[in-house]
Amino acid sequence: MVGSLNADLVAYAERLPGDGETVHGHAFARAAGGKGLNQAVAAARGGASTLMLGCVGEDDLGAFLLDQAGTAGVDTSAVATVPGASGVALISVDDTAANRIIVVAGANAALTPDRVEAAFAALASPPAVVLCQLETPLDGVAAALHLGRRSGAITVLNPAPAITLPAEVLAEVDWLIPNEFEASLVLGEPVSVATSEAALDVARRLREHGPRAVVITLGARGAIAVGPDSAEYTLEAFRVDPVDTTAAGDAFCGGFVAALARGLPVPMALRRGCATGALATTRPGAVPSIPTEAEVDTLLTP
């Protein structure tokens, strides 16, 4: 797992303040987050041996993030502690669940190609899967995908937060996992995923840009995929009672790659991804909402 670790600092208030205004909040929470760490926790809880490659700052939030990752079963021996502040997300939430978020990359900006290359060189054995997102510098992500492919790993990219990606990065990707918005940015034009057939067509077009396989996650509608052998899949979402959809996409990615890393066939890996994403919507927060392998098994058992 290559990516970001952020401390989510969440203040809850009846309403959000306007310009120059101060309001009294009624609750505060600090939780581990960041797309990289969310996905690492989902992979570890999904039963895969998970090594995180990332950076935290030399502050108390860095120590907190390492502790939370370790407690969730993620191997943090390749997370570097670097000078300066850890990555943070300052989140304000009002009583209607509307939010405002400021993310400060902090130490995540230090995940450079040099650091990625050194971490790959130090690996005891080649990884089965390398999973990246885009909350850390793109050249470091490109290096990880390149080295992953060269070592025989399945490379997976969740292109979030969305940017337009260079062709040479897309060419290193085995599985690209965007949502609708990210798919349109990668293709460079608005796309429609209003029906499964339309979404499959977007996935087919994305494959022409380099990735060997594509999953498009469709929120409460589930997901569609086109596999490396061009096999097409339409996955219904699991019926759950969502309370907070934060990290559903991260949970999908971690659950899916954990299954791939364990050698499960693609249709089963997709189902496990959907089940992991669905369960993550039933609890608040990011890392705390991510289900265990046993919880996913229970949802999958008819």
Q: Which residues of the chain form contacts with ligand ADP (CB under 6 A)?
A: 179, 217-220, 222-223, 237-238, 240, 242, 245, 248-249, 252, 274, 277-278, 281
| Nearest to ligand ADP of 47, 249 (CB atom) | 249
**Residue with Cβ nearer ligand ADP (107 or 280):** 280
Q: What tokens were used for 10?
A: 């969440």
What phi and psi values does residue 6 have, to the nearest 5 degrees?
-130, 145
Structure tokens that stand for 61 in this block: 């939030």
Question: At residue 142, what are phi and psi to the nearest 5 degrees?
Answer: -60, -40
Q: Single out the residue of 114, 118, 146, 115 nearest to residue 130, CA to CA.
A: 146
- Smallest gap from Cβ 214 to ligand ADP, in A, equals 13
Identify the H or E element spanning 225. Answer: strand 223-226
Smallest gap from Cβ 15 to ligand ADP, in A, equals: 25
Q: Shortest gap between Cβ of 275 and ligand ADP (angstroms)?
A: 8
The residues, any chain, with a CB within 8 Å of residue 210's CB and separated by 6 or more, are 167, 169, 170, 171, 172, 173
Q: Do 188 and 159 touch, CB atoms closer than 8 A?
A: no
Q: Between 76 and 281, whose beta carbon lies closer to ligand ADP?
A: 281
Return the number of the residue (79 or 202) whose C-beta is nearest ligand ADP.
Answer: 202
Catalytic position from the list 8, 59, 174, 250: 250
Q: How far is the CB of 75 from ligand ADP (least distance, A)?
A: 25
Q: Is 250 a catalytic residue?
A: yes
| Contact indicator for 285, 29 with CB cutoff of 8 Å | yes
Q: What are phi and psi of 140, to 5 degrees?
A: -70, -40
Q: What are the catalytic residues?
A: 250
